[in-house]
Amino acid sequence: MKKILSVVYDDILADPRASKFKKTLLSSYSLHTLSVEVIDAKRENNDITFKCTGGKYAKLFKFWINIFKIYRRLRPDIVLAHNYYVAFPCFLLSKLYGAKLVYDAYELYVPEKKQKFSFRYYLFYFLERVAIKNADLVFSANIERSRLMKKAYKLDVTPTPILNIPIIDNQNTDTVKSDKFTIVYEGAITFNRHLKKLVDVIEFLPEDFMVTFIGDGPDFDHLKAIVSEHPHKNRINCLGRVKNTEILPLLSKCHLGFVGYPMEGLNNIYCSPNKIYEYPAAGLPFISTNQSPICTITGDYHICEYYNPNRDSIQDIANLIIKIANNYSYYTELISKFNTEHSWEVEAIKIEEVIRQI
């Protein structure tokens, strides 16, 4: 049985995509995961974690050193690198020791003429580019990204798109709904995802409506500070980061999901969020910014209403929420069909087939 070392610069318990790859490959490979320990929880025997301390770059560099140490100990046949943070050290290992390199691109970071990028951006772009061009197999998060990556990196083979669909087996989503109509955002807490709009929209909604945030991120403390001073703070909850296995049960207690991405930059224009699958998996319709991949995937199922963050006001967003609340059965009647036609099992088969071929 071939060995795989799966590497992610996050806690494997809080990274849905890396966790799904792990579950998919465990039955066919001897797989170990290397990740950062953030959540205090019991680990499986094949999970290796490190508590990285220090500044932003010091922590990353320490993690890179640990990648080399663990690789030399395990000597895997395949290195599976998740996201750009670990792309370059995994590339070096593949070259030094002859392992196959599989790269899973979470983001779409390529320079654009109209946008200015920092030194940090260009550094990780260069390091990721080296890894992508030398990888034996590359995954992306949707077909639009795969096509753009092939063109931008001049690849011979189009990256394999693996959609961010959740695994819903053995997760209790048959939960009693909250007494109050709850709009939930689950994901990275960063204000460029229009989370301030979601805070402000509560003023335009009836008293029996609430907002809940699930997740952590660079703006989490700022979000909590804003909520603490908000006149309707008793109607806004900030739950922080939770385990992957807790997400769907928590979502299923809510009524409506919220998705928000900027309308600038290829990474945002061609976004592929977990949320557009996680909300329906928990039985929730949602409102979303109107990026074309999101509209294409959800448009035939009337499980979503779309808004343009550059045009629509807070009142407009509130009107969409109320529209869905008042016609809830219409927006939920095709959720089961959507879930059936967008299952992780299909993505898992693709992963196994293409890795088997390298």
What are 279-298's pLDDT values in tens digits? Answer: 999 999 999 999 999 999 99
Q: Are residues 90 and 205 in the same domain?
A: no
Is residue 19 within 8 Å of 223, Cβ to Cβ?
no
In a domain, 173, yes or no: no
Please check whether residues 100 and 224 belong to one and the same domain.
no
Q: Same structural domain for residues 57 and 186?
A: no
* Cα distances (Å, whole numbers) of residue 260 to 178, 300, 306, 342, 345: 23, 20, 10, 21, 27
* Percent residues over pLDDT 70 in the chain: 98
Task: Kindly report the length of the chain.
Answer: 358
Query: Are residues 160 and 193 both part of a single domain?
Result: no
Going by C-beta distance under 8 Å and a sequence separation of 6 or more, which residues neighbour residue 44?
A: none
DSSP character for 316?
H
- CATH number, domain with residue 211: 3.40.50.2000
pLDDT in the model for residue 42: 81
151 contact partners, CB below 8 Å, separation of at least 6? none
Query: Considering the domain boundaries, does residue 227 fall inside one?
Result: yes
The DSSP string of 12-33 is GGG-HHHHHHHHHHTTTSEEEE
C-alpha–C-alpha distance, residues 269 and 282, integer Å: 25
Residue 14: per-residue pLDDT: 87
DSSP code, position 235: G
Q: Please check whether residues 277 and 227 belong to one and the same domain.
A: yes
> Which regions in the chain score pLDDT beneath 50?
none
| Same domain flag for 281 and 348 | no
How many structural domains is the chain composed of? 2
**Cα separation, 258 vs 182, whole angstroms:** 11
30 CB-near residues (< 8 Å, 6+ apart): 1, 2, 3, 4
Structural domain including 283 reads 181-341
pLDDT score recorded for residue 170: 54
The pLDDT value given to residue 169: 65
DSSP state of 86: G
d(CA 125, CA 179): 47
- Residue 175 inside a domain? The answer is no
How much is the pLDDT for 109?
A: 84
Which residues are bridge partners to 288 per DSSP? 259, 306
Give me the residues paired with residue 81 across strands: 7, 103
Q: Helices marked H in 135-174 — which ranges?
A: 143-153
Q: CA-CA distance, 82 to 71, in Å (whole number)?
A: 15
**Which one-letter DSSP state was computed for residue 233?**
G
Q: Is residue 169 part of a domain?
A: no
Residue-wise pLDDT for 303-348, tens only, equals 999 999 999 999 999 999 999 999 999 999 999 999 999 999 999 9
Q: What strands lie across the sheet with 256-259, from one edge to the other? A: 236-238, 209-214, 181-186, 256-259, 286-289, 304-307
Statement to judge: residues 129 and 215 lie in one domain? no
- 305 falls within a domain: yes
* Residue among 120, 130, 49 at smallest CA distance from 89: 130
Are 147 and 250 in a shared domain?
no
**Are residues 336 and 232 part of one domain?**
yes
Instruction: Classify residue 170: in a domain, yes or no.
Output: no
Residues 192 and 280 in one domain: yes
Q: Which residue has the tokens 């949602």?
A: 286
Whether 50 is in a domain gets the answer yes
Q: Are residues 299 and 312 in the same domain?
A: yes
Residue 288 φ/ψ, nearest 5 degrees: -150, 155
What contacts 325, CB < 8 A, 6 or more positions away? 181, 209, 255, 256
Say whether both 58 and 116 belong to one domain.
Answer: yes
Q: Containing H/E element for 82?
A: strand 78-82
